[in-house]
Amino acid sequence: MIEDILAKSQTAELTFDDMLTLINLTKQSDLDKLYAAAYATKEKHVGKKAYYRGLIEFSNVCVKDCYYCGIRKSSAQERYSMTKDEILEMAIWAYKNNYGSVTIQSGERQDAEYCEFVADIIAEISNATNGKLAMTICLGEQSLAVYQKWFDNGATRYLLRMETTNPALYKKIHPDTPLHSFENRLNCLKVLRQIGYQVGTGVMIGLPGQTPEDMVNDIVFYKQNDVDMIGMGPYVVHKNTPMGQNAPDDTHAQVARFNYGLKMIAITRLHLKDVNIAATTALQALHPLGREMGLKAGANILMPIITLQDYRNKYQLYDNKPCIDDTPEHCKTCLTNRVESVGDVVGFAETGDSVHFLRRKVA
């Protein structure tokens, strides 16, 4: 039965019900089969190479108040914003260490000063690296003009998670204000695509109130929207948030979220095949070997944190964020060992563009 679905994934489209069967698997022997099939699919379509996106978390100032997030506006978290020089230093470190790309992330702001700052920093990184360091921007919802300017200045990829593709659940996990609109986020994805970015999205997995059907619908959404990259990971409780205060957080709940996280990676790989899929840090927050297991389940992207050490503990979206006390050098060595431990190699000095994106561009 499971074997039939896994075999079918290679020759025909998986149906909603097929994917629902897979997301509901719990027996370890079944899970092993699912992950092995997803790994084989990854090898066939994108190879056994893991690409690094050095993660620069340059500010935790945020205008949004998402109920799950540790740096939400209402949190008492001390705030920081790095200088241009600090950001540039990290990007150049990534470039010199043969990372093909960086991901630039911060809390969300839409004011003109901030948008100009980001536009400048993108241009400066592009200049300093001769346009060879690919930049993924992960800075939330912006206007078309801002997205366009950042693109023109040298950013080629944009990651904007939907968080959940179920509008009713989206409403439950965000305040009911125009700033937290599901429709606007959806529209932003369309605009990014029109501009010509490689577009990524993703969700949190195991949110309170989220069903297995919701998760399958998330994968259906990825496919329907023809996305190039996926960044998704388990929901991890941050105690000092409205959601975190009420969410179950015992071992059972954590294991369930972690397993859903791996199953989502595997089923997404089986269904979408040639997209880039990240094994996110949130996986490791729930299991010491979480990111390796993500690679084994079909992910091919890792995001080593290269944020300067002094700032790491202030960018805690969830509790138990790993690598807080590590240096960029340490993260590089550590992750490279982790990649090799599962039989993959690191795609050093390669940008690691989404194969899906390259194919749709020539098509």
Span of 211-219, 228-236, 299-307, 343-351 interacting with ligand 5AD by CB under 6 A: 228-236
Span of 28-36, 86-94, 229-237, 302-310 interacting with ligand 5AD by CB under 6 A: 229-237
Contact predicate 161/149, CB 8 Å: no
When the beta carbons of 46 and 331 are compared against ligand 5AD, the nearer one is 331
The Cβ of residue 288 has, within 10 Å, a number of other Cβ atoms equal to: 10
Span of 81-89, 211-219, 230-238, 299-307 interacting with ligand 5AD by CB under 6 A: 230-238
Taking the complex as a whole, how short is the minimal distance between the CB of residue 244 and ligand 5AD, in angstroms? 7
* Closest C-alpha among 355, 299, 307, 305 to residue 335: 305
Contact between 204 and ligand 5AD (CB under 6 A)? yes
Residue type, 145: A
Contact predicate 302/52, CB 8 Å: yes
Tell which one of 318, 321, 322, 339 touches ligand 5AD (CB under 6 A): 318
Instruction: Give the Å distances, CA to CA, from 266 to 106, 128, 259.
Output: 28, 37, 11
Taking the complex as a whole, how short is the minimal distance between the CB of residue 150 and ligand 5AD, in angstroms? 17
Tell which one of 114, 158, 235, 258 touches ligand 5AD (CB under 6 A): 235
Backbone angles phi, psi at 89, to 5 degrees: -60, -45
* Closest C-alpha among 183, 129, 117, 181 to residue 156: 129
Contact predicate 191/225, CB 8 Å: no
Taking the complex as a whole, how short is the minimal distance between the CB of residue 325 and ligand 5AD, in angstroms? 20
Site string for ligand 5AD, 19-58 (x = CB under 6 A): ----------------------------------------
Tell which one of 174, 238, 321, 332 touches ligand 5AD (CB under 6 A): 238
Contact between 230 and ligand 5AD (CB under 6 A)? no
Instruction: Give the Å distances, CA to CA, from 323 to 136, 240, 294, 311, 347.
Output: 21, 20, 17, 12, 22
Contact between 297 and ligand 5AD (CB under 6 A)? no
Q: Please, where are the H alpha helices in the chain?
A: 2-8, 16-23, 28-45, 84-96, 112-128, 144-152, 167-173, 182-195, 212-224, 242-246, 251-272, 281-286, 290-296, 309-312, 328-341, 355-362
Contact between 236 and ligand 5AD (CB under 6 A)? yes
Taking the complex as a whole, how short is the minimal distance between the CB of residue 247 and ligand 5AD, in angstroms? 9
Who contacts 204 (Cβ-Cβ below 8 Å, separation ≥6)? 68, 161, 163, 164, 232, 233, 234, 235
Q: What radius of gyration, in Å, describes the C-alpha atoms of the chain?
A: 19
Span of 21-29, 142-150, 166-174, 234-242 interacting with ligand 5AD by CB under 6 A: 234-242
When the beta carbons of 267 and 303 are compared against ligand 5AD, the nearer one is 303
| Tokens read off for 293 | 């297991």
Tell which one of 272, 275, 282, 299 touches ligand 5AD (CB under 6 A): 282
Taking the complex as a whole, how short is the minimal distance between the CB of residue 232 and ligand 5AD, in angstroms? 8
When the beta carbons of 236 and 293 are compared against ligand 5AD, the nearer one is 236
Contact between 69 and ligand 5AD (CB under 6 A)? yes
When the beta carbons of 122 and 204 are compared against ligand 5AD, the nearer one is 204
Contact predicate 317/70, CB 8 Å: yes
Taking the complex as a whole, how short is the minimal distance between the CB of residue 346 and ligand 5AD, in angstroms? 23
Query: Please, what sign has the CA dihedral across residues 85, 99, 340, 275?
Result: positive
Binding site for ligand 5AD (CB under 6 A): 68-69, 161, 163, 204, 233, 235-236, 238, 282, 317-318
